[in-house]
Amino acid sequence: MTIDLNMLEWARAQFAMTALFHFFFVPFTLGMSFLVAFFETIYVKTGKQEWKEITQFWQTLFAINFALGLSTGIIHEFEFGTNWSTYSWVVGDIFGAPLAVEGIIAFFMEATFAAISFFGWKRVSKGVHLASTWLLAIGSNLSALWILIANGFMQHPSNEFLKFDIETSRAVMTDFWKLITQPVAQVKFLHTISAGYTLSSIFVLGISAYYLLRKKHVDFAKKSAAVAAAFGLVSSIFVAVIGDEHAYEVANTQPTKIAAMEGLYVGEKGAPIVAFGIPKDLPALKVNSNDEAFVFKIEIPKLLSILGKRDPDAYVPGLKDLIVGNPEYGIWPLSKLAQIGAEARADLRAYHEAKAKGDKAGMEAAKADFYSVVWSDDKLGLKLTKSDLIGYGFFKNVNNPDLIHPPVPPVFYSFHIMVGLGFWFILLFLASWVAIIKGTFENNRLLQQLAVISVPLPWIATSFGWMTAEIGRQPWTVFGMLPTAESATPIALQNVQATFFMFLTAFVILGIAELKILFTVVKHGPKGAH
């Protein structure tokens, strides 16, 4: 199959645009659904009308976001069939399963209980309404779970739950339970939802601080800020803790990504983390020292080895090691991976040629070689077959480092900006919570101003987090199995360009409408919002 590279880049740009715009709504939905549930629980427990007003105000903002999030998510899923049909055909058996469960269970939970929660205040009892609000929050987060299970498979397609079927030339699922319990997906899910909780808490805290600065709705703002600061402090700390576990999983399943995240070109024992730096965009094979890969950097010694291997003196491979190999640490060169992948592709062709001729012996021989074990570890109970490396067979020029690792500067910067903002959120929530406990938050204008200024920052952090995950996975759609260049639909360039600008126009209109409505509701305040 031949793909026009211009079309491929346009298809990637369209998918990135859609994903980032959709993700503008997702974390807000995840976190605000629980904050609304907290507010309503307090209302039901206390019976105080002021808590009902608090609940309804934040629920109004949540509902606006929820509606637009659903519409952009549908557009996003359609792109798998329009621009990425080859990907959908090859791995659809695995990728489609969690999305189907998400649609059947989580989506219907959201749709059903959203209707009761948004419109049932005067139609159902307090208990039924509260239960619906909680079930809406749970459904929203379950929706994220199944989507991130699908994404986790793309990050780490383990042969524990799949195999490449020589008969159909497609990846097929072998164990659904192992698919949904894979560690990569689970830590990714926890990291994503806790980031969403942090984002929504910053939003509520910032809007509350805005009211306090203007001396409007003071009691409303104080109560909202107290709940948001408590939820946000716990969530932001959890983001950092689970982020450490996430980094560990990435280091052991996607070594090229972790190397790009830290600008590590040459592997090191006791590898440091770059706390701050300005990396150069260099071909990995030409870099002989990690120092020459940076214009400037500040390092924390041994921390990358601790995070990635749980050992301060452990060896962490760099991009160069992952291209030329490192026998001392059992790292195969790209040339060997590409050779085994090419043999797997040859076996696949031989099998189907033999099948067309009715040559059963030829079919069996090709099949046996296709599934032959090329590496195993009896202690860990792991094995690797030729079929597991079939994706590497698409790489022709194995001396080109751009084929095996993502671009370093965008991955490095997106990761470090995300981490830096994450620590800022912890400090902001901690300072706000201490001030609230002491009763000084209401008059602390500096802290209030910082909270207001910080409102857009979580969206920047979560967007950069997704950029780290997705750009860092390149050049693969399914890591190690299916290259991005082999995943696209072979369609005309002008078709992709037309839909790109159509979606861009729609997103700009929807984005402006969303912001205008949100600003209007916030300007009117809690009593003018319902």
pLDDT at res. 1: 53
Give the other-Cβ count within 10 Å of 189's Cβ: 21
| Structure tokens that stand for 49 in this block | 């009308």
- pLDDT bin (cut points 50, 70, 90) of residue 2 is low
Q: Where are the domains of the chain?
A: 5-254+408-528, 263-327, 334-397
The average confidence (pLDDT) of the chain is 90
Smallest CA-to-CA distance from 530 within 31, 64, 6 is with 64
Over range 431-436, report the average pLDDT.
97
- pLDDT bin (cut points 50, 70, 90) of residue 3 is low
For residue 345, pLDDT beyond 90: yes
- pLDDT bin (cut points 50, 70, 90) of residue 177 is very high
Among 27-41, 108-122, 337-351, whose mean pLDDT is lowest?
Answer: 108-122
Smallest CA-to-CA distance from 472 within 410, 421, 422 is with 410
| Structure tokens that stand for 308 in this block | 């990635």
| pLDDT tens-place string over residues 273-331 | 999 999 988 888 888 888 888 999 999 999 999 999 999 999 999 999 998 899 999 89
Smallest CA-to-CA distance from 448 within 458, 436, 457, 437 is with 436
Give the other-Cβ count within 10 Å of 68's Cβ: 22
Find out whether 467 and 410 touch, Cβ atoms under 8 Å.
yes
- pLDDT bin (cut points 50, 70, 90) of residue 529 is very low
For residue 403, pLDDT beyond 70: no
pLDDT at res. 530: 38
pLDDT above 70 coverage of the chain, percent: 97
Over range 236-246, report the average pLDDT.
94
| pLDDT tens-place string over residues 33-80 | 999 999 999 999 999 999 999 999 999 999 888 877 777 777 777 788
- 333 prior amide bond cis, ω within 30: no
Q: Is the dihedral of CA 5, 8, 12, 17 positive or negative?
A: positive
Would the pTM count as exceeding 0.85? yes
For residue 20, pLDDT beyond 90: no
Smallest CA-to-CA distance from 33 within 96, 118, 104 is with 118
pLDDT at res. 528: 44
pLDDT at res. 456: 95
Over range 100-109, report the average pLDDT.
80
